[in-house]
Amino acid sequence: EVSLQDKEKTYTKNLSGGQLQRLAVAVALVNDPRVVFLDEPTTGLDPQARRMLWETISALKNGGKTIILTTHYMEEAERLADRIMIMDQGKIIARGTLLELIDSIDVENIVTFSVQGDTPIPEGFLEVEGLQHTENREYSVTTRDVERTLGRLFEISKEFDMLLDDVTIRKPNLEDVFITLTGKKLRD
């Protein structure tokens, strides 16, 4: 189930970090438990091995196992979890399904963009409701009215002869929930 057949005669000290992670999952499954605890099982795995392990975890879930998984990877939690708990500084600050958590932050859309050049950012941008500076010259705006928000951003950029770059519109995700609830970017 964890694709280590070709390593069956290899000592554990000779396994790579990703292979050791997969071995740990295999050991957790040896006794066919009803509840499986996995602590950061995909840390150190390459993308292919990570996806393979996700398929294994999904198969276990579909086979009736209860999986308790800790992870810092929001994409992993979004993909695998039926219910999610978010912890910050050792305290549970939110719990629910992915949709319940996303609905809890009351955001319909997120517009992200970057500003080209070295000129200072005009005050007009700072007046756009919901604007957050994410990093360097990158910004995001949470909004219910995408058309109005985009119109205002393009109006300001034209007025100050600035070019907006990499403009995207997306729905909120679990990382947005985490940042909204904790006020912090993900950290180790």
Report CA-CA distances (Å) from 157 to 64, 147, 154, 174: 54, 15, 5, 30
Compute the distance between CA of residue 59 and CA of residue 54 in angstroms, rounded to an integer.
9
In a domain? residue 185: no
Compute the distance between CA of residue 28 and CA of residue 32 in angstroms, rounded to an integer.
8
pLDDT of residue 134: 74
The CB density around residue 145, as the number of other CB atoms within 10 Å, is: 12
Same domain flag for 124 and 79: no
In a domain? residue 176: no
Q: How far is CA 177 from the centre of its chain?
A: 9
Same domain flag for 89 and 165: no
pLDDT of residue 156: 87
Same domain flag for 139 and 51: no
Provide the residue range defining the domain that includes 158.
Answer: 108-171
pLDDT of residue 188: 42
Q: How confident is the prediction along the chain (188 residues), in pLDDT tens digits per residue?
A: 788 899 989 999 999 888 888 888 889 889 999 999 999 999 888 898 889 889 989 999 999 999 999 999 999 999 999 999 999 999 999 999 999 999 998 888 999 998 877 767 777 777 787 787 777 788 888 888 899 999 999 998 888 888 888 999 999 999 989 988 887 655 54
Same domain flag for 88 and 116: no
Same domain flag for 95 and 138: no
How many distinct structural domains can be found in the chain? 2
State the first-to-last Cα distance of the chain, in angstroms, to the nearest integer: 29
Same domain flag for 34 and 90: yes
What's 28's domain CATH number? 3.40.50.300
